[in-house]
Structure 1
Amino acid sequence: MSTDRRIVLFDLFGVVARHQRPGALEQMATLCGAPVDAFTDAYWASRPPYDAAQQTAAAYWTTVLRKLSRPVATDTIEQLRLADIDSWSRVDDRVVAYVQSLRDRAEVALLSNIPSDHADAFLAAQPWLQHLDHVAFSGKIKAAKPDPAAFHHCVTALRAAPADFLFVDDREENVRAAQALGMNAHLFTALHPLTAAIDAWLPPRAA
């Protein structure tokens, strides 16, 4: 059941923010003296519990280093943690401007899979996020997409109905999960198709 509200719920990475900086995984592999391919496998395989706040940063990096049979040193963990945060720090200024411009036509919120310490750094670097109607980071809400709990969090926090939302994400599994919950959804590929989809979904502008 819809309450006739219009809430555009954005993913972060791959939509508003850019994907991981090219060369970042190679840099982190060098920091711990591991082959790039092995490091990449350990980095991603160990990620879901970290994203969903089931592991601290220290526990995540300890897991990665042990999978690689590398020494678990506090200094190395901190170097890796900071390099990792920096690698996910870029935004697409055009999309940021568009997101902000929507706020006179709709409620605007964000739902991102991002560890808690990354979220803190991102909020500090991007103060415009504090002006959105709601911001949900997986490391803070303890649920990561495509887990339905992540979407339920936004529905509950905004006191809305699933049909009130247009969810925007660049990953098909997340789009399908939102649709299964009853949300409208758009698979992001570029800014122009996104603006067209949102214009079609929102009520016409007042004359």
Structure 2
Amino acid sequence: MPIDRHIVLFDLFGVIARHQRPGALARMAARCHAPTAAFTTAYWACRPPYDAGRQSAPEYWTAVLRSLSVDADADTIEELRLADIDSWSRVDNRMVAYAQSLRAVTEVALLSNIPSDHADAFLAAQPWLHTLDHVAFSGKIKAAKPSPAAFHHCAIAMRAAPADFLFVDDREENVRAAQAVGMNGHVFTDRDELAAAIDTWLPTRRPTWK
């Protein structure tokens, strides 16, 4: 196993990719004639097994619709599934460029909570993901943050020690979970603060970026 490795392990949404499109949940609620507040509650309450790869998309959406007493017909489920994928499809192009620039001086990986079908769509639409040293999607690895299993997967897959990683996430609870398994952690707020933290953590100077 190589020694003195430094791996920046990025979260996706809220760091490199943008959060869900504003108004997306209201539009999905309208599609199934449900109040937005009730739809939003059901959407998130049913989400963990879907994110962790323990449910398929039809199983997830059936659970959501049944909790709202809405008929879970195949056409509605597919429309909601596609709308959901689209709602999470935006990236921050400057953060993409920054993450890619880091590969000149360190290894770069990604760990994201994302269902398997969303992951497939993201991989198809964002070819830069294929340039990273490792990509771990919760729906594919069957473990979602903040479960220790998600972080252990990355260490095992990359044949690295937890201390070799700097995990970057916009959610403090996920960063604390990474630190609990021995990784370094940084709570993301903006790119400049992150770049300064990575500068301090890396033994070599990071590349110039704009």
TM class by shorter-chain length? over 0.9
Which residue does 1:149 correspond to in 2? 149
Unpaired stretches in structure 2, ≥5 consecutive residues: none
Q: 2: CA distance between counterparts of 1:205 and 1:18?
A: 27
Please give the TM-score of this superposition, normalised by the length of structure 2. Answer: 0.96
Which residue does 1:118 correspond to in 2? 118
Aligned pair count reads 205
Q: 1: CA distance between counterparts of 2:106 and 2:155?
A: 15
Which residue does 1:12 correspond to in 2? 12
Q: 2: CA distance between counterparts of 1:152 and 1:189?
A: 25
Contact 1:3–1:161 (CA<8 Å) still a contact in 2?
A: no
What is the one-letter code of the residue matched to 1:48?
P
Which residue does 1:56 correspond to in 2? 56
Q: 2: CA distance between counterparts of 1:128 and 1:72?
A: 36
**C-alpha distance after superposition, 1:90-119 (max 9, x if no partner):** 000110000000001000000000000000
**C-alpha distance after superposition, 1:7-55 (max 9, x if no partner):** 0000000000000000000010011110000000000000000000110
Which residue does 1:100 correspond to in 2? 100
**C-alpha distance after superposition, 1:29-88 (max 9, x if no partner):** 011110000000000000000000110000000000000000110000000000000000
1:30-179 counterparts in 2 under 5 A?
A: 30-179=30-179
Unpaired stretches in structure 1, ≥5 consecutive residues: none
Q: 1: CA distance between counterparts of 2:35 and 2:117?
A: 26
Pair 1:201-2:201 in alignment = yes
| Equivalent position SS for 2:49 | helix
Which residue does 1:27 correspond to in 2? 27
What is the one-letter code of the residue matched to 2:116?
S
Pair 1:183-2:183 in alignment = yes
Q: 1: CA distance between counterparts of 2:18 and 2:46?
A: 21
User: RMSD over aligned Cα, in angstroms?
Assistant: 1.0
Q: Identical aligned pairs, as a percentage?
A: 76
1:3 to partner: Cα distance: 2.8
1:205 to partner: Cα distance: 2.9
Runs (4 or more) in structure 1 with deviation over 3 Å come to none
Contact 1:110–1:134 (CA<8 Å) still a contact in 2?
A: yes
Please give the TM-score of this superposition, normalised by the length of structure 1. Answer: 0.98
Contact 1:114–1:139 (CA<8 Å) still a contact in 2?
A: yes
